[in-house]
Amino acid sequence: MAKKTLEEIERIKSQLTPITFLEELAQSGYLLEYVNKFMKNDYENKMSFREEIFILLQKYQEEPIDDIDIFYLEFLNFILINFNNKTTNV
């Protein structure tokens, strides 16, 4: 019984993570405004940062965000063009 409780505590402990400043902004609805004002260069030029922002926005925003839709549509378009090129060149 003690082993099961210890495993349960470890499982719960592994799920607990501190909330970052960006998560706080996303929860309050000000993430895009903050990023556009103070981190615009990173947002526009670093894909990993942009993806992190998109994940936070998808997690906390209730309404759709045009930037995310455009990003995924452009990515899908890129994949389909590559697929089309590879299948027609065979």
Report in angstroms the alpha-carbon separations of 53 from 2, 40, 85, 88, 89: 41, 12, 31, 36, 37
Q: What confidence score (pLDDT) does residue 27 get?
A: 92
How wide is the angle at C-alpha 39 spanned by C-alphas 30 and 75, nearest 5°?
A: 90
Helix axes 31-38, 21-28, angle to 10 degrees: 130
Contact at 8 Å (CB) between 54 and 46?
no
Q: How far apart are CA 51 and CA 16, in angstroms?
A: 22
**Mean pLDDT for the stretch of residues 25-37:** 94
- Look up the pTM and report it: 0.66
**Mean pLDDT for the stretch of residues 61-80:** 90
